[in-house]
Structure 1
Amino acid sequence: MRERLVSQDARRAREFRAFVAGAAGRLLHTATLLTAEAPADNPRARRLLTLSLAHTYACWDRLRGEDPYDHARQYLAGRYARGAWHQYGGFGRARPHPDSPLAVLGPQERLILVLRLYEGVAEEQTAALLGLPVERVRTICDRATATLLHPPRGPAPAVVRARAATP
């Protein structure tokens, strides 16, 4: 009996290590896009990844044919959404790294855009994951895409008035 449990634990650990080897890089990139941190300096993204992988490992035996990547991504997205909600009192603006390509977007816009365009999650699944209507997800995604394609301009340059020449 004991040998069987040891064998099952070893198999579980091997399977999970193989999953992490294949999925951790992409999940970390997803988390980095969500947090809008610099790729080389992303402690919040690394924490999201660690929590997501730990949760996936804890549920590993109960997945039973479910895609572990999808499970980890859902947990990562949900954890990010709850963190942004609690930390910023709703989906307020976080302080993203200025070099992040998604720095101009708010947390909710980043979340929906990353799920839809980077991860390829369908509108219906994204809406169900976030508890939003499909139309709202579509609108936010369209607005975020437009913002990225046509970023807001900075303030207009100050107008300098020429002095009248004195005769």
Structure 2
Amino acid sequence: MRRAIEAPEHDVRADRDSQFQAFMGGATQRLYRVAYLLSGDAGEAEELTQHTLVRTYTAWDRLDGGDPYAYARRILVNLHSDWWRRRRKRERPVPEVPERTAPGSDPADAVLDRTSLARAIQHLSRRERAVIVCRFYLDMTEQQTAAELGVALGTVKSACSRALRKLRVDPDLSPLAHHQEAQ
């Protein structure tokens, strides 16, 4: 008699786990890319992704019919904000200074270089970086970005404007700066 009672509970848990595994298989890389763009560090991006998946799993039963990727993305952005508040942009030592461009290379290649863009995004404030990632990497509207970050629409617009202004003059993205270095 007892086995009959346990079997449905086990089936529900197995079904829940298989649903989460299917979600995780499709969302892990996407979440990692967002985490990397937010943090600029591969190790921190992995940590953020893992913590996001753990929190999403614990809330899986409450997501009835909702979009689990949107929920996970929101967790990811909030976790990054929490970690950023604790760490407060410390300098990180590196074994050697990376080269910006090879001599004689086309300056347009440096502008398109993902590494240059990732470095430039790290010069933005936490809020500006989150807005840029949501608006242009995740292709969200201003309204969706405001809802995702829990801020007013005007805040999204002003943060986006400031961030784009900073990116336009960032030396990592400036073709003129790369051209002058090559000479």
Among 3, 6, 24, the residue aligned to 1:2 = 6
Among 91, 107, 117, the residue aligned to 2:136 = 117
Larger displacement relative to structure 2 (99-108 or 61-70)? 99-108
Gaps of 5+ in 1: 158-167
Structure-2 residue corresponding to 1:15: 19
**C-alpha distance in structure 1 between counterparts of 2:91 and 2:128, whole Å:** 14
Among 111, 135, 154, the residue aligned to 2:154 = 135
Structure-2 residue corresponding to 1:43: 43
- What amino acid sits opposite 2:33 in the alignment? H
Matches within 5 A, 1:46-125: 46-88=46-88, 93=89, 95=91, 99=115, 100-101=118-119, 102-125=121-144
Q: Which has the higher helix share?
A: 2
Does the CA-based 8 Å contact 2:128-2:159 persist in structure 1? yes
Residues 1:146 and 2:169 are matched in the alignment:
no
Does the CA-based 8 Å contact 1:56-1:71 persist in structure 2? yes
**C-alpha distance in structure 2 between counterparts of 1:145 and 1:94, whole Å:** 24
CA drift at 1:94? 5.2
**C-alpha distance in structure 2 between counterparts of 1:149 and 1:60, whole Å:** 41
Choose between structure 1 and 2 for higher RCO, CA contacts under 8 A separated by at least 6 residues. Answer: 2
CA drift at 1:115? 1.2
Which of the two has higher C-alpha Rg?
1
TM-score by length of 2: 0.71
CA drift at 1:138? 0.8
**C-alpha distance in structure 1 between counterparts of 2:137 and 2:159, whole Å:** 15
- What amino acid sits opposite 1:127 in the alignment? A
TM-score by length of 1: 0.77
Summarize the Cα distance change of 1:94–1:138 in structure 2 as closer, same or farther, 3 Å threshold.
Answer: farther
Structure-2 residue corresponding to 1:160: none
CA drift at 1:137? 1.2
Summarize the Cα distance change of 1:59–1:27 in structure 2 as closer, same or farther, 3 Å threshold.
Answer: same
Gaps of 5+ in 2: 99-114
Count of residues in Structure 1 that have an aligned counterpart in Structure 2: 147
- What amino acid sits opposite 1:116 in the alignment? R
Structure-2 residue corresponding to 1:162: none
% identical aligned pairs? 33
